[in-house]
Amino acid sequence: MKGWTYRHPVGRAVSGAVGLLALGAGARVGGRRSRALWTAAVLPDVALLYGISAAPAFERLPAYAVRPYNVLHSPAVPVALFALAAVAGSRRTAVAGLGWLGHIAVDRAFGYGPRRPDGLRY
């Protein structure tokens, strides 16, 4: 699987460190009670809510929810938020990018990566 690994102990440790650093930086820049930080930190799991009612099992997402899940859990989303923040000069957007990155990294630290087309984890 391409991308940063979450199946190797070192990759999981790096992911955990990245997640904690991103959330810590977001709290430092935006404040510990920043709505932008904590909203962005939970938004990637909207795809889970989208598919949960039709999920055939706890570990398997329905096929229609796999693509949204993988897109929302892609590092490309926080990178796009960081780029937008740089262009617009928006601290709030940068904080949202840190929250989003923190969520993805913590997920990977716990072994949750992209989903296969059948809805199971790789």
Give the residue extent of every domain in the chain.
9-109
CB 1 within 8 A of CB 113: yes
**pLDDT for residue 1 is more than 60:** no
**pLDDT for residue 27 is more than 80:** yes
Banded pLDDT at 14 (limits 50, 70, 90): very high
Q: Which pLDDT belongs to residue 53?
A: 79
**pLDDT for residue 96 is more than 70:** yes
C-alpha–C-alpha distance, residues 53 and 55, integer Å: 6
Stated pTM of the model: 0.90
CB 12 within 8 A of CB 108: yes
**pLDDT for residue 3 is more than 60:** no
